[in-house]
């Protein structure tokens, strides 16, 4: 057995013997893959995760979105920039956590398959 296999087995045992539970996406959250705009950053992005944060003043749970912020573009007609791997290497994608009231969702556009971003970024981002 190699060291990698031993490490993988140890990791599996550790995860199976913990009380850690993966939370489901909140039912009132936008679907994963939804296009959105971060009001705070004024940038277009894609929802890659959603979870509950703290409580608001009315003691209701606040949804927090993890958003893959897309590089700035010259406009919607330049979407081909996102499919050009050379251009992507010069661009900056990053992930930002945003409160639900700091995000505008474009729900009239169907969600995208977020796994395409992993391949576009050369598997540097695992989604």
Helix or strand run (H / E) with residue 112: none
Q: What mean pLDDT comes out for the span 19-38? A: 83
Q: Is residue 12 in a domain?
A: no
Q: What mean pLDDT comes out for the span 12-16? A: 64
Q: Is residue 5 in a domain?
A: no
Q: Is residue 36 in a domain?
A: yes
Structure-model confidence comparison of residues 50 and 3, the more confident one: 50
Residue 64 vs residues 8, 18, 87, 96, 127: alpha-carbon distances, Å: 31, 25, 30, 10, 17
pLDDT-derived band at 72 (thresholds 50, 70, 90) equals confident
Q: Is residue 9 in a domain?
A: no
Q: Is residue 7 in a domain?
A: no
Q: Which CATH number fits the domain that encloses residue 53?
A: 2.30.30
Q: Is residue 53 in a domain?
A: yes
Structural domain total, the chain: 1
For the stretch 74-94, pLDDT in tens is: 555 455 555 555 555 556 778
Distance of CA 31 to the CA centre of its chain: 11
Q: What mean pLDDT comes out for the span 93-109? A: 92
> Would you say the pTM of this structure is higher than 0.75?
no
Strand residue runs (E) in the chain: 35-38, 43-55, 61-69, 94-99, 103-105
* Average pLDDT over the chain, rounded to an integer: 77
Range of lowest pLDDT (13-27, 54-68, 71-85):
71-85
Range of lowest pLDDT (66-70, 88-92, 97-101):
88-92
Q: Is residue 1 in a domain?
A: no
- Check if the beta carbon of residue 31 is closer than 8 Å to that of residue 50: no
Domain of residue 70 covers: 26-120
Whether residue 53 is predicted with pLDDT greater than 60 in this model: the reply is yes
Q: Is residue 16 in a domain?
A: no
Whether residue 34 is predicted with pLDDT greater than 90 in this model: the reply is yes
């Amino acid at each position: 057995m190699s060291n990698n296999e031993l490490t993988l087995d140890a990791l599996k045992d550790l995860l199976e013997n913990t009380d850690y539970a993966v939370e489901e996406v909140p039912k009132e959250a936008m679907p994963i893959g939804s296009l959105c705009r971060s009001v705070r950053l004024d940038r277009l992005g894609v929802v890659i995760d959603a979870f509950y944060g703290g409580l608001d003043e009315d003691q209701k749970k606040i949804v927090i979105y993890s958003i893959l912020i897309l590089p700035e573009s010259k406009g919607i007609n330049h979407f081909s920039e996102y499919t050009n791997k050379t251009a992507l290497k010069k661009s900056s994608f990053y992930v930002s956590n945003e409160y639900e009231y700091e995000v505008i969702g474009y729900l009239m556009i169907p969600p995208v398959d977020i796994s395409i971003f992993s391949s576009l970024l050369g598997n540097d981002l695992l989604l």
